[in-house]
Structure 1
């Protein structure tokens, strides 16, 4: 019996280790990465959505969501991260604290104004955000809408009709944003699910500005 238990424990160790992603980083957006091939949602922070905009002090509207994604890619893409799993979210992603070169990336991003403390789930980075706000770092130099509020507003918005805006903005199972125009191979069977962040576009330029790319076929 003891031998059977020992074998079970030894078999279980690799499974437990797999729950804590480690490896090279591929940035999906500000707070969602692939780490060693595992999809990870960074714990305790909330970064702007890729199609989110902010307003500068002079009133100019700018793509702060795309800017954050670019900044995060410049900092972390291709580097090695060690993550500690905390939970799994409703999309099946591992929610984890991650470190790069021994530094908590969630804390670093909030401190530099690239993301916000996600106080709905944790207060770990509350003071870091307050410090960034006082010093006007990153997003705090502009007028912004918190990402959760932005997502809620999008869900409650009345979607454009197919007749007015026929381009379909689809989000793949891997989180890739792809748009389909009438006449393309998969246009007819592509469905729009607003709850997933999918939407209609009136022009290809509008779709590209929002962070979508054209389907290859």
Structure 2
């Protein structure tokens, strides 16, 4: 079929070529320019993305060890790093609990208990749970003479400060990790469970 069309065009001469040229679809020059601009814009965007440097990831400490300063009932500072005790929440420092008409500073009580558990000794913490977006350290912490990782003592949280705070009724279990210990503290009505409190 193609050979027949070519033969006809050859037979008809330049007039047929002119007809073919007129019949061939044309793209408007403005549309061509727009397509060229869009292609250039896409190239610029791709180049800009390639040059964009991702912000550096916040390094998460693999562990903490040293003398601990107690901030409140669930927060320590070790070597300048703030460590939140994983899966527990203690009353805020200024928070009060109530029993009938009696109010007491349960936030201060929780802090004093954690201070008595630490007693100026060294504390070792290992990270636990997903990293915090702001880089804060969250983990299990133990009163120890050596860092976590030198033996298997940090593998179990049975001797952790986290569990001890819940057992003494000085903090709430917020992830179901220490449900039994919390139930025992509530049954004994010790610490924050002596009365009523708003969740920290």
TM-score range, shorter chain: 0.5 to 0.7
Distance 1:126 1:21, change over 3 A: same
Unaligned runs of 5+ in 2: 1-58, 145-152, 154-158
Larger helix percent: 2
Structure 1 stretches (4+) deviating beyond 6 angstroms?
A: none
Between 82-91 and 38-47, the greater mean CA deviation after superposition: 82-91
Distance 1:61 1:23 in 2: 36
Q: Verify the 8 A CA contact 1:22 1:81 in the aligned structure 2.
A: yes
Q: Mapping of 1:50-61 within 5 angstroms? A: 50-56=93-99, 58-61=100-103
SS of 1:88's equivalent in the other structure is: coil
Distance 1:126 1:47, change over 3 A: same
Q: What number of residue pairs does the alignment pair up?
A: 128
1:185-207: CA deviation from partner (whole Å, max 9, x where unpaired): xxxxxxxxxxxxxxxxxxxxxxx
1:161-216: CA deviation from partner (whole Å, max 9, x where unpaired): xxxxxxxxxxxxxxxxxxxxxxxxxxxxxxxxxxxxxxxxxxxxxxxxxxxxxxxx
The partner residue of 1:48 within 91, 111, 119 is: 91
Matched with 2:110 is: 68
Distance 2:132 2:94 in 1: 22
Q: CA deviation at 1:31?
A: 0.5
Q: Verify the 8 A CA contact 1:25 1:77 in the aligned structure 2.
A: no
SS of 1:52's equivalent in the other structure is: coil
Matched with 2:33 is: none
Unaligned runs of 5+ in 1: 1-14, 148-217
Choose between structure 1 and 2 for higher RCO, CA contacts under 8 A separated by at least 6 residues.
2
Distance 1:135 1:29, change over 3 A: same
Larger strand percent: 1
Q: Verify the 8 A CA contact 2:106 2:191 in the aligned structure 1.
A: no
1:43-79: CA deviation from partner (whole Å, max 9, x where unpaired): 01000011111112x4212211122112222321422
Structure 1-normalised TM-score? 0.54
Q: Mapping of 1:1-217 within 5 angstroms? A: 18-56=61-99, 58-86=100-128, 87-101=130-144, 103-119=159-175, 123-147=176-200
